[in-house]
Amino acid sequence: MRKCTPLAPKRSKYPSTLLRGHPERRKATVSELIFTSSSHNDLPISRNDTEPISARTAPPAHLLYLLFHEIPDFCLQKPLYNEIKHRQCKNNINRNPDTLSHFISVFPYKRETAQEVTRPAPSNPSNLPSIQTISPPHRYKRKQQTKMYRFKNKVILITGAASGIGEATTRRITSEGGTVVMADFAKEKNELLARELKAGKAEVFPVYFSAEDLESCRSLIEQTLDKYGRIDVLVNNVGGTDLQRDTDIETLDITFFDRAFHLNLRSAICLSQLAIPAMLRQKGGNIVNIASIGGFTGDFRGTYYGTSKAALINLTRYIATQTGRHNIRCNAVAPGLVLTPAALKNLPEETRRTFERHNALPYLGEPQDIASAVAFLASEDARYITGQTLTADGGLTIHNPTIADFTNH
């Protein structure tokens, strides 16, 4: 990065003595806060520019470095702020007084004292201010989400909606104003969750659903269309396996093939096939498939599960390719280990620690993490994304698998 050089104003009676350690150091004037750099040609830098600096223009990192490391009294003393806000300046900063006050609000240094506070200069000038040095570090706690209503007046059909990732997705969608058709095999649990959500003023419709039964798939789509007349989003979440029968290639139960693939793949194909005509009539729709990192990687067991999820990932691409011109998007989410109630019940603590040791992040996923990814792909925020699989595994599959053995996690 080129070194930044302050530009002195025309006919200025002051020398540009702004940097730390200069014997005649003083406070900066407004004109001297305009810096030039060949790497930021989009920033108005010329003294003859007629367009005002926009508050929406992100300040270059080297500019922020000079402002907050070499000129600390920019943030600590009020006179300069008032000068920026009120002085008539040839660069038209006076038309946008919020520009530099916006920078101040982004970097919450103290401004209440009028005396200069000396901060030690960084050992390496390339160490620019970062998010970690400005805001408190993330302590692995879920932050409060801003209330959004991305699914208002939309009907979302979710399979496996009564537990785990499906339950978290149902809660997330309804919290954003969506109407959710809750399809699940566990009828009583599904109705119990529906009553809870209805008590919170959510619009939900619980329906019994067996993913292995084609007739149940048809009935689910018919009931949804009879009640609401449309399906805006289909979330193919249901899936699973029996690890007593779905083992390695030498010992797996060949008779378990049909059940595993019907549950994980055929149900998604059938529901998508039945929902797409309704989406065509609506002139648009959205399908989100819940896959797994098992569809990308191999494992010592779960052969059917991983193979069927790999097929689901490629089915996502096929649906997106064949329906994209009709304004129908199709994407998938591939979770890693997620601490669902079933995982907490069946996985011993030692196994969970092993997964955490191999994660890039220092924690394991929760159902709400996957629900957030589904909500994003199902919303208009992802309107230009289709045929993609979003991996949400805490970084488990991004690195050399031996890294945990060579580093102190």
User: Using CA atoms, how far apart are residues 94 and 79, in angstroms rounded to an integer?
Assistant: 15
* Helix 267-282 / helix 214-228 crossing angle, nearest 10 deg: 20
Identify residue 323 by its one-letter amino acid code.
T
Contact 91, 44 (CB under 8 A): yes
> Which residue out of 140, 208, 304, 305 is catalytically annotated?
305
The token duo for 47 is 């003294």
C-alpha separations of 190 from 184, 186, 262 in Å: 6, 6, 22
Quote the CA–CA distance of 67 and 75 in Å, as a whole number: 8
Dihedral of the CA atoms 378, 384, 387, 392 (nearest 10)?
Answer: -60
Exposure of 64 in the CB half-sphere (CA atoms within 13 A) = 20
User: How many CA atoms lie less than 13 Å away from 121 in the CB half-sphere?
Assistant: 10
228 annotated active-site: no
The two three-digit tokens of residue 320, written as one number: 């997106």
Q: Which residues are catalytic?
A: 305
